[in-house]
Amino acid sequence: SPLTAVRQPKELMGEIAVKMLIDAMNGENATEKQRIILKSQLVKRASVKNFNPVPVSANSFSGNSNH
């Protein structure tokens, strides 16, 4: 597929979800909010273009719009 995507750890997400569900069913952490951050990976494909920034001088942002 030529589109860039984000690879996520689906198996680990499932394992964590099942553990959280079982804990909730057992009354553990029932009211406690949790934030779980998992590492994802950017999969660059044909939709990504190399970007070479062009240096811009401070005068370019002076607010003058005399073009």
Taking the domains of the chain in order of start, what are their residue ranges?
5-48
DSSP state letter for 60: G
- Encoding tokens for residue 26? 């057992």
Please state the pTM of the whole predicted model: 0.59
Residues 5-61: tens digit of each pLDDT: 999 999 999 999 999 999 989 988 767 788 999 999 999 998 887 777 777 776 666
Helix (H) or strand (E) run with residue 13 in it: helix 10-25
Is residue 66 very low, low, confident or very high in pLDDT (cuts 50, 70, 90)?
A: low
- Predicted local distance difference test score (pLDDT) of residue 48: 84
Q: What is the pLDDT of residue 32?
A: 76
Cα separation, 50 vs 42, whole angstroms: 15
